[in-house]
Amino acid sequence: MNPNLKAVLLTVLTLSVFTLVIIELTGISNNSLNALWHNRQAAKPFVATADPRTQKVNAMLKTTMSFYETKHDFGKIHADSVVKYVYKFKNTGTNPLMIAKTDVSCGCTVPSYSQDPIAPGTDGEITVSFNPKGKSGTQHKNIMVHSNAVPEAVSIGFDAEIK
């Protein structure tokens, strides 16, 4: 057999096996291809439904916002003390600004914010509480703030050294 033909066949076989492995690992074969091969209704993709507040915020006119500070350093803190920090921001756009939700990187971090719209040109704030119980060493935490601003999500965060 021709050595070049062997190389081509080996390459095709390798790529085929690689493709099958990727399909299996991603679950495509179980979800979509299986339904198509058996003439069944195609599997429906997962669609997360937004909560009513997020739906309301998503329907609002877009605006812009600017945080005065997006990172804070608590420095050295004791593991038994809850600390708080207030992140201030300004609605720099021409439409009311409303925060839809916040996503945190840890249950030890709890943000709170006004549920009311922030008028154009005015300031708003997000208060973040951090409970370091059970943590030690340097901690880096992030909070994703989702709103009707552009961009839709902004990351704020803090550092702390737990004693």
Radius of gyration of the chain from Cα atoms? Answer: 25
Identify the pLDDT of residue 79: 93
- The HSE-up count of residue 73 (CA atoms within 13 Å, CB side) is 4
Please tell me the distance from the alpha carbon of residue 133 to that of residue 149, in angstroms, as a whole number. 34
Q: How far is CA 98 from CA 2, 88, 118, 127, in A?
A: 69, 14, 6, 15
Which residues of the chain fall below pLDDT 50? Answer: 28-46
Identify the pLDDT of residue 23: 60
Q: Which CATH architecture fits 52-162?
A: Sandwich (2.60)
Identify the pLDDT of residue 10: 76
**Structural domain spans, the chain:** 3-37, 52-162
Please tell me the distance from the alpha carbon of residue 125 to that of residue 99, in angstroms, as a whole number. 10
Tell me the whole-structure pTM to 2 decimals: 0.69
